[in-house]
A and B are shown apart, each in its own frame.
Chain A
Amino acid sequence: MTAAMLYAFAALTRPSPAPSTVPGANIFTSAFILSIGIWAPVLMAFVIGVLPNPRGRYDTLIKQIAFFTNLIVLFILFVAYNQFQNFLPTLQYEENRQWLPAIGAAYHLGVDGPGILMLMLSALVGIISVLASTGIRTRVRSYFALLLLAQSCVTGAIAAHDLFVLVLFWSAATVPLALLILGWGGPRRDAAAWRLVGYWGAGTVALVLAVAGIYVATGGTSFDMEVVLKAPLGARAEVIIGLALVIAAATRLPLFPLHGWVRDVYSDAPIGVVVVVASSASRLGAYVLLRVLVAGEPDGAKLLAPLIAGLAAITVVYAAIAALRSSDIRHAAANLALVPCGVTALGLAALTPLSIAGSVLSLFAGGMASALVVSVFATLSDRAQTRNAMVLTGLAARMPKLAWLTVLAGLGVLGVPLMASFTANEMTFFGAFRTQPVGAFAVAAGLALTAIAVAVLIQRVLFGPPNPDAPAVSDSSLSETWFLGLMAGALLWVGIVPGGPKIPGTDTPLFDPGVVNQMVANIPEIASPYSGTATP
C-alpha cells in the first residue's frame, strides 16, 4: 500500500511525458462521449416512461432496459477512462456549444483526472443501483425512469465545465431522488424526502449565490469555468463566495452541522436510491468544492481551510460517537457513512498536492465505502426483519455472505490495508499533517473512535451470542450479493491494484490503466497556487 501511495505521489510530482498505451485504446472515439453518458439514460427514461405496462406485464423488460442502459453507459465511460490521457493537464472529451448567449452560458462539458474518476464512480453506481432495485415490485416503470434521470443528473454535474450547467444538473438531481424516496421509501419516507429537498435545496440556493457572485465579480459575461475560475477576484470576494460554496458542499456531502437529512434518507430510502445518494450524488459536494473553490479561488480556499478542516474533524468525531450510541443498525450505518466525507473534506482543506489527490481518490473510495456500509446494513436489517441492534446478535453463522460483506464494509469505512479507502486516507493524512495538523489529528482521533464503533457493532450483530427470541433470518439473495459484492470488489480492486494490472513482465496496463494514474491528471495544476503553503 505504501508502494501504491508512493506511486501516486510520483505520478503527481512527475507526470509522465508520454502516454501509456492500453490495449484497445482509441478503438472508440466520439465527439459526444460525455453527452451520450448524460443523455442516453434520459432518453431511456423517456422510453420506459411511455412504454405501456398493463398490470406490470413488462416489469422485467423495464428492469432489463435500465440495466442494459447502465451497462452500455458504463462501457462507454470505461472506454473514455481507458483512453483518457493522464499526461495532459487539459480537459478531455470536451464539448462546447452556446446555450444562453445572452448571459454567457454554454453547454460546456469536459473532464480532467478527478472528473474521469467521478464518472467511473457514477457509471459503476448506475449498474449497482439497478441491481439493488431488482426487488422493486410496485410502479416499476416510474421507479426506473426516475432512477435513470437521477443518474443522468449526477453524470451531468460531474461533466459540467460551465457553472450554469453545473447548477442545472446539481439542482435537477433533487427532484427524481425525492420522488423515489416518497414513492418507494420506508415508514419515515415523508420526513426523509422533505429533509433531502430542504437541505439540498438550501445547498442549491448557496451554490447559485456563489455562482452569481463569481459571475458578477468576473464581469458578468460568462459562466465558463475556464474563464471565470482563472480570473482573480480578491480575497474578500473569494472568502464570501467560498463560504457559500462550503455551505453548498456541506449540505450535499454532508458535513456537520448540515447533515440533518442523512439519518432519515439512509435508513428509509430504497436501497437502490441509497446507493446513488451515498456514493456519487453526495460526492458532488466535495467535487464542487474541489472544482470551484480549490481550483478557482485560491485566496478563499486558503482562508477557509481551517473552517473546512474543523468541519471535517467534527463530522468524523460526531459520526463515530453517534454510531456508537445508536441502537438502530441503519441509523448507525448512516452515521458511519459520514466518516469518509470528513476525510475527503480534510484532504481539500489541507491544500497540498498529495492531500488533494487523496481527497480525489476518497471521492471514489469513500463514496463506495459509504454506499456499501449503508446498503449492507439495510440488507441485513431487511433479512433479519428488525433494525434493533439489541435484538440482532450472533448473525454471522446464519448469514455468512452478509457477514463477510458487513466486515468488508466496516473495514472500508475505516480504511484498512487492501481497501481503496486505505490508500485515499493515507494520502490525505500524509498530505494534511503539515498544513492542517490539528484537523488531521482530530480526524485521525475520530477514525479511532470509528474503529471502536465498527468493532462494537460488528461484534454485537455478527459475533455476539445468538438471540433465540430474534425473528428468523436469511442470507442475502443472489442479486443482493451481486450488488454488495460489486461495491466491495471495487473497493478491493482499487485497494489492491491502484495502478492497474500490468501485462506480466512489462509496464503495459492489461485493461485498466489504474485509478491512481488516471485521476492525477490536472491535480498538480489545481494544487499549483498552494505550492508555497507546504510541500509534503
Chain B
Amino acid sequence: MTKYLVLLPEALVVAGAVVVLLLARFGPSRYRRWRRALPAVAALILLAALAVELRVGADVGSYFGGGLLVDRFGLFVKAAVLLAAAVGIAVADWGAEDSVSIGLAMPMLAVFGVMVVASGGDFLSVWAGLELAGAAGVVMLATRRPDSALRLLLLGAAASALMLIGLAYVYATAGSADLGAVHAALLGVAPTLPLAVPVLVLLGALIYRASLAPLQLGAGHGLAAPSPMSIGLVAGLGAAAAVVAAVKVSVAVGAVSVAFSPYVEIVAAVAMAGGGAGALAARSPRTRIAFLVAGQTGWVIAGLATQFRGGIGATIFLLGALVVAATAAPAAAGAAGISELAVSGLGTLRPARAAALTLAMLSLAGAPPLAGFFGEFTIGAALARTGHLELLAVGLLGSLLSLVAAIGTVRVLYLQNPPDEGRRGLVALPVWTRLSAFGAIALCVVIAGYGLFANPISSLADQGAAALGLR
C-alpha cells in the first residue's frame, strides 16, 4: 500500500487537472456558477498534495524498480513547486485569464511534470517530465499568443532533440539509463572528448531551456501579450523543470564535470549579468520580471559548476525561492504588468497585491532579507569555496543591476499616484477577491519567511544534495 501511497500527491494533482478540464468540456450548466470557486479548489488540492507529500515523502525509498525515487531532493522540489503553484493560482487575477479551466489545469500538469523529473530515477522519466511541463506551457501560451507558443514549441523541440542526442551518447557510454548507474559507471571514466561533447550537448540543452524560456515572454506588448498565469507557468514551473533535470543529470555525469563546468560558468555569467542588464533596460514590470527570473536562473546554473554537496544544496535552496517568486510574480502583476503606467499607484489601490509583487521582484533581484538573497548568498559561499570568485563577482554585478531595476518598479508601485482611468487605457486593474488577497499575503509570508526560517529549509536542501549521491 505504501508503494502506491507515495504516488498520492501526483495522483491528486493529475486528477485535479483532469477534472477541471472535463468539467469545462462536459460540465453541467450549473458548473458555471461554481466556476468562480475553481481557483480556490485547485489551490486547496495543491495544498493537500503538499501536505501528503510532506508526510509520505519523508520516508526515503525506491519504487517501481528504481523508476521512482522518494528522497529528500524530490521532497524539496515537489514541495516547492506545489507551494509555488498554489500561491500562484491564489494570487492570479482570473479576470485576466482567457480560460479558467486551462489556466488551472496546465499549471497543475506542469507541476506534475516537475514532480516526475524530481522523483525520476532514469533518463526516461527525467525527459518525460520535462516534456510534460514544456507542453503544458505551450498549451497555456497558445490560448492567447499562438506565435509565442510556436516559438516556445520550437525552442523546446530543439532543446529536446539536443537532449536526446546527449542522453543517447551517455547511455551508450555508461551502458545504462539509470541515473545512479550512470554516476557509478562514469566514476572511473576519463573525461575524453567523445564523452565530453554529448554531456555538453545534454546540459547545454537543459540550460538553454531553463535560462532562455522566461525571455520568450518578455517581448509581448499590448493587450495581446500572454496571460499572466502562462508567464508564471513558463518562467517558473517550466524553467524549474529544466533546472531540476539539469541538476540531476549534472550530478549523474559529475565525474566528467571538468568537461562541462567552464561552459556552465559562461552560461551562468551571461545569464546573471544579462538578466540584470536586461531588467534595467526594460520598463514594463512583466519584462523586468522575465529578466529578473533569467538573472536568478543564472545564479542557480552557477551552482551547478561547483559540483559538491554544499554547492548543489545551495542550488536546490535557491531553486525553491526562484520557483515561488517566478511563478507568482507575473500572476501578482496581473494584466496590468504590461506597462509601468498601468501599475502606477498599485500600492494604494491594491495594497496586498502590490506588496506581493514588490517582495517577489526584490527576491528575484536578490535583495535582503528575502528568499532570493539567502539563496544567492549560499551559492556565493559555494562559489567562493570552489574558487569561482570571478563568477561570484559577475553575479554580484548582475544582482546590483537587478536591484536597481526592481527598485524602479517598486517606486512606480508605491511612490507614483494612480493614473486617471482614462490614462490607464484598456488595461484594467486586477480584480480584488478574497482569494487573491489571501494569495498575496501568503506569497509575502513565503518570501519573507523563506529567509528568516532558512535553517530547516536550507538543511532540507542540503539533505537533497546528499540524496543525489553527493557527500
B338 within 8 A of A: no
Closest A residue by C-beta to B416: A183
Q: Are B396 and A208 in contact (CB under 8 A)?
A: yes
Question: Which of B113-121, B127-135, B217-225, B451-459 makes up part of the contact surface?
Answer: B451-459
Which of B94-102, B190-198, B247-255, B385-393 interfaces with chain A?
B385-393
Instruction: Using CB atoms, name the residue of chain B closest to A104.
Output: B381
Considering the complex, give the chain A residue whose CB is closest to the CB of B366: A171
Chain A positions 96-111 with a Cβ under 8 Å from a chain B Cβ = 98-103, 105
- B residues near A137, Cβ cutoff 8 Å: none
B23 within 8 A of A: no
Which residue on chain B has the smallest CB distance to residue A208?
B396
Q: A292 within 8 Å of B by Cβ?
A: no
A172–B404 CB distance below 8 A: no
What 0/1 readout, one digit per residue, does chain A (136-167) give for beta carbons within 8 Å of chain B? 00010010000000000000000000001001
- Nearest CB in chain A: distance from B223 CB, A: 30
Which of B265-273, B324-332, B407-415 contacts its partner? B407-415
A216 adjacent to B385 (CB under 8 Å): yes
**CB-based contact B407/A102 at 8 Å:** no
Q: Write the chain A residue with the least CB distance to B397.
A: A205
> Which residues of chain A in 195-217 are interfacial with respect to chain B, using CB atoms and an 8 Å cutoff?
197-198, 201-202, 204-205, 208-209, 212-213, 215-216
Chain B interface: which of A174-182, A322-330, A446-454? Answer: A174-182
Interface size class of B (residues with CB under 8 A): 35 or more
Contact (A179, B310) CB under 8 Å given A204-B400, A205-B400: no
Q: How far is the CB of B207 from chain A (nearest CB, A)?
A: 24
B454 touches A103 (CB 8 A): no
Among B143-151, B295-303, B368-376, the stretch that binds chain A is B368-376
Is the CB of B462 closer than 8 A to any CB of chain A? yes
Which residue of A is nearest B378, CB measured?
Answer: A103
Bound-state Cα–Cα, A139 to B454, Å: 33
CB of A51, distance to nearest CB on chain B (Å)? 11
Is the pair B377, A99 in contact by a Cβ cutoff of 8 Å?
A: no
Q: Which of B351, B373, B385 contacts A215 (CB 8 A)?
A: B385
Across the interface, do A101 and B393 meet the contact criterion of CB distance under 8 Å?
A: no
- Say yes or no: A167-B377 contact (C-beta < 8 A), given A178-B407, A197-B407: yes
Asked if B362 is at the interface (CB within 8 A of a chain A CB), the reply is: yes
How far apart are the CA atoms of A202 and B377 in the complex, in Å?
Answer: 16
Instruction: Knowing A101-B458, A101-B459, A212-B381, say if A197 contacts B403 (CB, 8 Å).
Output: yes
The CB with the most chain A CB atoms within 10 A, among B314, B383, B385, B392, is that of: B385
* CB–CB A168/B380 < 8 A: no
Tell me if A's interface is mostly helix, strand, loop or mixed.
helix
Q: Which of A100, A175, A197 has the most CB of B within 10 A?
A: A100
The reply on B461 being an interface residue by CB < 8 A is yes
Q: Which residues of A contact B385 (CB under 8 A)?
A: 215-216, 220
Q: Check: A194 CB closer than 8 A to any chain B CB.
A: yes
Cα distance A193–B407 when bound, in Å? 10
Chain A-chain B contacts (Cβ-Cβ < 8 Å), number? 109
Q: Mark A83-122, 1 if CB is under 8 A from B, else 0.
A: 0000000000000001111110100000000000000000
**Known: A100-B374, A213-B384. Contact between A175 and B392, CB under 8 A?**
no
Task: Check if A201 sits within 8 Å of B404, measured CB to CB.
Answer: yes
Residue of B362, B367, B400 with highest tally of chain A CB at under 10 A:
B400
Distance in angstroms between the alpha carbons of A183 and B411 in the assembled complex: 7
Say yes or no: A183-B415 contact (C-beta < 8 A), given A102-B310, A202-B400, A220-B381. Answer: yes
In the bound complex, do residue A100 and residue B454 qualify as a contact, i.e. CB atoms below 8 Å apart?
A: yes
Assembly CA distance A198 to B403 (angstroms): 10
A201-B403 contact, Cβ under 8 Å, with A103-B310, A142-B347, A171-B368: yes
The docked-state distance in angstroms from the alpha carbon of A105 to that of B377 is: 10
| Bitwise interface map of B from 449 to 471 toward A, beta carbon under 8 Å scored 1, else 0 | 00000110011011000000000
Q: How far is the CB of B425 from chain A (nearest CB, A)?
A: 25
Contact residues in B for A194 (Cβ distance below 8 Å): 404
The answer for the CA separation of A139 and B389 in the assembled complex, in Å, is: 42
Given the known interface contacts A99-B454, A103-B381, A208-B380, the answer about A172 and B369 at a Cβ–Cβ threshold of 8 Å is yes
Task: Tell me how far the C-beta of A507 lies from the nearest C-beta in chain B, rounded to whole angstroms.
Answer: 44
Instruction: Give min CB distance, B322 to chain A, whole Å.
Output: 17
Across the interface, which residues of A come within 8 angstroms of B368, CB to CB? 167-169, 171-172
Interface string of B350-368 (1 = CB under 8 A from A): 0100010000001000011
B313 close to A (CB within 8 Å): yes
A54 to chain B: closest CB distance in Å?
11
Considering only residues 354-401 of chain A, those with a C-beta below 8 Å from chain B are none
A505 to B461 alpha-carbon distance, docked (Å): 64
Please report the C-alpha to C-alpha distance between residue A168 and residue B374 in the assembled complex, in whole angstroms: 9
A102 contact from B313, B362, B380, B384, Cβ within 8 A:
B313
B382 part of interface (Cβ distance < 8 Å): yes
Chain A contacts of B384 at CB under 8 A?
212-213, 215-216, 220
CA distance A490 to B310 in the complex (A): 49
Residues B415 and A182 in contact, CB atoms below 8 Å apart: yes
Interface residues of B in 385-444 (CB under 8 A from A): 385, 387, 389, 392-393, 396-397, 400, 403-404, 407, 410-411, 414-415
Please tell me if the beta carbons of A179 and B414 are within 8 angstroms of each other in the complex. yes
Cα separation A9 to B313 with both chains bound (whole Å) = 51
Report how far A201 CA is from B313 CA in the complex, Å.
27
CB distance from A442 to the nearest CB of B (A): 33
Residue of B nearest to A207 (CB): B396
Contacts of A164 in B (CB 8 A): 377
Cα separation A391 to B304 with both chains bound (whole Å) = 63
Smallest CB gap from B374: residue in A: A100
Given contacts A103-B378, A205-B400, A213-B384, contact A182 B310 (CB under 8 A): no
Q: Do residues A197 and B415 form an inter-chain contact, with CB atoms below 8 A? A: no
Q: Output the nearest chain A residue to B462 by Cβ-Cβ distance.
A: A102
- Min CB distance A178 to B, Å, is 6
Partner of B403, one of A101, A175, A220: A175
Chain B residues near A213 (CB, 8 Å)?
Answer: 384, 389
Closest beta carbon of chain A to B74's beta carbon, Å: 19
Q: How far is the CB of A175 from chain B (nearest CB, A)?
A: 6
Q: How far is the CA of A462 from the CA of B462 in the complex (A)?
A: 65
Q: Name the A residues within 8 Å of B389 (CB-CB).
A: 209, 212-213, 216
CA of A83 to CA of B397 in the docked complex: distance in angstroms? 43
Contact B382 A103 (CB under 8 A): yes
Which A residues lie within 8 Å of B462 (CB)? 102
Chain A residues with Cβ below 8 Å from B378 are 100, 102-103
Q: Which chain B residues numbered 75 to 126 have a C-beta less than 8 Å away from chain A?
A: none
Tell me, rounded to whole Å, the shortest Cβ–Cβ distance linking A174 to chain B: 8
- Inter-chain contact B458/A139, CB cutoff 8 Å: no
Distance between Cα atoms of A167 and B459 in the complex (Å): 21
Enumerate chain B residues within 8 angstroms of A139, measured Cβ to Cβ.
Answer: 414-415
Interfacial chain B residues near A179, Cβ < 8 Å: 407, 410-411, 414-415
Q: In the complex, are the beta carbons of B362 and A175 less than 8 A apart?
A: yes
A359 to chain B, nearest CB (A): 28
Residue of B whose beta carbon sits closest to that of A156: B369
Question: Assuming A209-B389, A220-B384, is B415 touching A98 (CB within 8 A)?
Answer: no
Residues on the A chain within 8 Å of B313, using CB = 102
With both chains docked as a complex, state the minimum distance between the C-beta of A167 and any C-beta of chain B, in angstroms: 7
Contacts of B381 in A (CB 8 A): 103, 105, 212, 215, 220
Given contacts A102-B317, A212-B389, A216-B384, 5 further A-B contacts (CB under 8 A): A98-B455, A100-B454, A175-B367, A201-B403, A201-B404
The 8 closest A-B pairs by CB, nearest first: A212-B384, A183-B415, A220-B385, A172-B368, A201-B400, A103-B381, A205-B396, A102-B462
The 30 listed contacts between A and B (C-beta, < 8 Å) are A49-B355, A99-B454, A100-B378, A100-B458, A102-B313, A103-B382, A164-B377, A168-B373, A175-B362, A179-B410, A179-B411, A182-B411, A183-B414, A201-B404, A202-B400, A204-B396, A205-B396, A205-B397, A205-B400, A208-B396, A209-B389, A212-B381, A213-B389, A215-B381, A215-B384, A215-B385, A216-B387, A216-B389, A220-B381, A220-B384
B: residues with CB less than 8 A from A are 310, 313-314, 317, 347, 351, 355, 362, 367-369, 373-374, 377-378, 380-385, 387, 389, 392-393, 396-397, 400, 403-404, 407, 410-411, 414-415, 454-455, 458-459, 461-462
